[in-house]
Amino acid sequence: KAGIVAMAEGYGLVADGKVVFVDVTAEWCLTCKANKEFVLTKAPVAQALDGTIPMLADWTKPDPAISAYLASFGRFGIPMNVVYGPKAPQGILLPELLSSDDVMTALQQAK
């Protein structure tokens, strides 16, 4: 399994009832920056994410583990965000361009 998924499972976060929010991003990714600025740091998403375990995969420089993680969801570029939780151990893949509703719905479904 890709490193980030194995890490979440290895620490037993999801099995322990935690919700994990994975953010695959890069310094050069303008859509990633827009998602952060206009969705992830704004209410109500920011408050909802406060209760999750954040995991950041920085793809600023190519990384084979991150590339494999992207490919495991049929993606070959970023941004990519995935929510894991007790009711979503395989992860809920979010759209590339986030909306508050998308994130809030995935967080609720994963709990």
**Rounded Cα–Cα distance for residues 64 and 48 (Å):** 31
| Cα distances (Å, whole numbers) of residue 29 to 24, 47, 70, 102 | 10, 24, 15, 20
Locate all alpha helices (DSSP H) within 18-99, ordered by sequence. 30-35, 45-49, 64-72
Structure tokens at 5: 């998924």
User: Can you tell me the distance from the alpha carbon of 89 to that of 56, in angstroms, rounded to the nearest whole number?
Assistant: 18
pLDDT of residue 5: 56
Whole-number pLDDT of residue 65: 87
* Tens of pLDDT, residues 23-34: 999 999 999 999
Q: What is the pLDDT of residue 49?
A: 95
The answer to whether the beta carbons of residues 59 and 25 sit under 8 Å apart is yes
Confidence band for 4, pLDDT divided at 50, 70 and 90 = low
Question: Which pLDDT belongs to residue 10?
Answer: 45
Distance of CA 71 to the CA centre of its chain: 14
Q: Could you report the per-residue pLDDT of 32-76, keeping only the tens digit for each? A: 999 999 999 999 999 999 989 999 999 999 899 899 889 999 999
Q: pTM higher than 0.85 for the full model?
A: yes
